[in-house]
């Protein structure tokens, strides 16, 4: 097949969907790889690094014109959707539940679309799982950014002038990003407490050396396929009460709580922020889905009574080199599964294809 790799113009995106070593693997499997000039530069890969493996470096218009399948990272905007032509296939992040308009626009251009963020979290799909690979890096970055913003250090330090106690970190959500955030904060020497509404996370949290904050009645939370589908107001109220003391004592808070598809649950109110320690920092990773803190604004710094609230949405992109390498390996695993030398199989009986193919033959698939 002829694959095209586009630069993510107009986005704050530094990642590239295919790195040179993965381009080499696609080419040795019999495919052609077109690379838009300069598309890997912000992730640390120049055109020559692709060329030596046999990729063809072209201007953007030529990549689009000559490729059967376009590979990218960021959700395309209206201008980028208009570049595509009927019959082409797009493989990208899409977040279909949040972007009905994007799906409709792609369907009206008769482009087939695989959403990499819609993969089932199954053993078979593990090597393709972009959410795991990218959110893992993002969890690490959230703690590193929080540590840099905080006016204090993480580890216990004994000095002749006195003892500095360890920083207290509170993490909402122990999924992929949260578990990496715990490990990173622990490595830096912080005391870490964690809240999650899936009871099975307790053991994982404790194995990383953090304290799990228990909440009564978690068996009532509706979990489907490893994700929280719905959660009752009574459970949220009990959780709020159980976490309150840790919240008011915390120096750094990392928010990663997410429920399937919809808006992120609001777990920290403005009133609670007013009562937090002066100088505390909240890194709200759920900002793009509305945030776990009431005060979060995506990609903005908000100060409230001496507490800094950050809502970065480009954490994985800020580790562009590693993130691109892992994303590209996920894409390679996906293409190895779904693509034949002469095109995609579009085998709807296959659960990976069925879950990720969000637009096909001009129709949005529900
Ligand atoms: P995940 O689905 O693996 O984990 C989410 C966790 O939140 C789950 O463990 C779930 O049980 C938990 N949760 C749900 N409701 C909760 C509640 N009320 N209290 C506490 N925990 C609750 O997701 P992930 O891969 O870890 O990603 C976490 C978040 O980070 C997502 O919102 C994702 O979109 C976001 N993210 C942001 C960036 C960025 O740049 N800001 C980058 C990557 C991921």
Same domain assignment for residues 347 and 311 = no
Q: How many of the other CB atoms lie within 10 Å of CB of 346?
A: 15
Give the residue numbers spanning the domain of 65: 2-118+320-364
Give yes or no for residue 229 having a pLDDT over 70: yes
Mean pLDDT of 34-43: 97
CATH number of 206's domain: 3.40.50.720
Best probe residue, ligand 1, of 13, 170, 177, 291 (max atoms within 8 Å of C-beta): 177
Q: 31 C-alpha to center of ligand 1: Å? A: 36
- Nearest to 284, CA basis, from 272, 261, 300: 300
Beta-carbon count within 10 A of 326 CB: 21
Same domain for 141 and 209: yes
Query: How close is the Cα of 173 to the center of ligand 1, in Å?
Result: 6
Query: How far, in Å, from the CA of 75 to the mean position of ligand 1?
Result: 19
259 lines ligand 1 (CB under 6 A): yes
Whether the predicted pLDDT of 37 surpasses 90? yes
Claim to verify: residue 137 and residue 274 sit in the same structural domain = yes
Does ligand 1 lie within 6 Å of residue 135's CB atom?
A: yes
* 127 occurs within a structural domain: no
Only one residue has tokens 């715990």, namely: 182
What share of the chain has pLDDT > 90, as a percent?
88
Q: Is 179 in the pocket of ligand 1 (CB under 6 A)?
A: no
Q: Is the residue at 358 inside a domain?
A: yes
Same domain as 325, residue 307: no
In a domain, 123, yes or no: no
**pLDDT for 242-267, tens place per residue?**
999 999 999 999 999 988 767 899 99
Structural domain contains residue 186: yes
158 shares a domain with 40: no
CA 287 – ligand 1 centroid, Å: 10
Establish if 172 belongs to a structural domain.
Answer: yes
Average pLDDT over residues 28-42: 96
| pLDDT surpasses 90 at 230 | no
**The residue to which tokens 């949005």 are assigned:** 364
Residue pointed to by tokens 């113009």:
9
Its pTM surpasses 0.85: yes
Mean pLDDT of the chain: 95
Residue 220 in this model has a pLDDT that exceeds 80: no
Per the structure, how many domains does the chain have? 2
The answer, yes or no, to whether any atom of ligand 1 lies below 6 A from the CB of 218, is no
182 CB under 6 A from ligand 1? no
Residue 338, H or E segment: helix 320-338
Same domain? For 155 and 297 the reply is yes
State the pLDDT at residue 275: 98
Q: Which are the catalytic amino acids?
A: 121, 126, 129, 132, 227
Distance CA 191, CA 182 (A): 9
- Ligand 1 centroid to residue 235 C-alpha, Å: 18
Q: Are residues 311 and 338 both part of a single domain?
A: no
Answer whether residue 49 shows pLDDT above 80: yes
Please say which residue of 296, 315, 334 terminates a domain: 315
Distance from residue 315's CA to the centre of ligand 1 (Å): 13
Specify whether the CB–CB gap between 244 and 172 falls below 8 A. no
The pLDDT of residue 232: 84
If asked whether residues 227 and 305 sit together in one domain, one would say yes
Task: Say if residue 304 is in the same domain as residue 345.
Answer: no
Q: Is the CB of 228 under 6 A from ligand 1?
A: yes
* Residue 216 or residue 192, greater confidence: 192
pLDDT of residue 342: 86
| Residues of the chain above pLDDT 70, percent | 99
Is 351 a member of any domain?
yes
Nearest alpha carbon, ligand 1 atom 19: 196
Tens digit of each residue's pLDDT (9 = 90 or more) over 281-338: 999 999 999 999 999 999 999 999 999 999 999 999 999 999 999 999 999 999 999 9
Mutation to probe ligand 1, out of 175, 260, 286 (largest number of atoms < 8 A from CB): 175
Residue 311 lies in a domain: yes
Q: Answer whether residue 366 shows pLDDT above 80.
A: no
What is the structure's pLDDT at 261? 67
Index of the ligand 1 atom closest to the CA of residue 132:
25
Residue 162 three-state SS: strand
The answer to whether residue 126 is domain-embedded is no
Q: Is 350 helix (H, G, I), strand (E, B) or coil?
A: coil
Does one domain contain both 162 and 258? yes
Same domain, 168 and 268: yes
Residues 158 and 303 in one domain: yes
């Amino acid at each position: 097949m002829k694959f095209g790799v586009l630069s993510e113009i107009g986005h704050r995106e530094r990642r590239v969907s295919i790195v040179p070593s993965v381009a080499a693997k696609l080419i040795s499997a019999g495919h052609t790889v077109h690379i838009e000039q300069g598309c890997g530069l912000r992730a640390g890969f120049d055109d020559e690094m692709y060329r030596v493996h046999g990729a063809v470096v072209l201007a953007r218009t030529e990549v689009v014109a000559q490729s059967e399948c376009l590979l990218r990272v960021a959700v395309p905007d209206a201008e980028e959707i208009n570049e595509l032509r009927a019959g082409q296939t797009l493989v990208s992040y899409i977040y279909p539940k949040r972007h009905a308009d994007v799906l409709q626009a792609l369907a009206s251009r008769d482009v087939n679309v695989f959403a990499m963020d819609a993969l089932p979290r199954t053993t078979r799909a593990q090597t393709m799982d972009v959410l795991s690979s990218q959110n893992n890096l993002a969890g690490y970055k959230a703690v590193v950014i929080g540590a840099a913003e905080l006016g204090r250090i993480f580890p216990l330090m004994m000095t002749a002038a006195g003892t500095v106690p360890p920083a207290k970190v509170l993490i909402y959500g122990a999924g992929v990003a949260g578990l990496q955030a715990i490990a990173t904060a622990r490595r830096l020497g912080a005391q870490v407490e964690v809240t999650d509404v899936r009871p099975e996370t307790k053991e994982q949290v404790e194995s990383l050396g953090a304290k799990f904050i228990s909440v009564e009645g978690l068996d009532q939370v509706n979990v489907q396929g490893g994700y929280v589908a719905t959660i009752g107001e009574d459970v949220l109220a009990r959780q709020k009460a159980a976490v309150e003391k840790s919240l008011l004592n915390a120096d750094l808070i990392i928010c990663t709580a997410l429920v399937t598809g919809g808006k992120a649950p609001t777990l920290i109110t403005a009133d609670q922020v007013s009562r937090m320690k002066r100088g505390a920092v909240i890194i709200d990773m759920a900002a793009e889905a509305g945030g776990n803190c009431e005060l979060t604004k995506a990609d903005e710094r908000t100060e409230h009574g001496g507490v800094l609230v950050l809502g970065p949405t480009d954490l994985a992109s800020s580790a562009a080199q590693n993130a691109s390498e892992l994303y590209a390996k996920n894409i390679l695993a996906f293409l190895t599964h779904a693509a034949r030398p002469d095109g995609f199989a579009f085998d709807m009986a296959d659960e990976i294809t069925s879950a990720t193919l969000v637009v096909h033959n001009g129709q949005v698939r529900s």
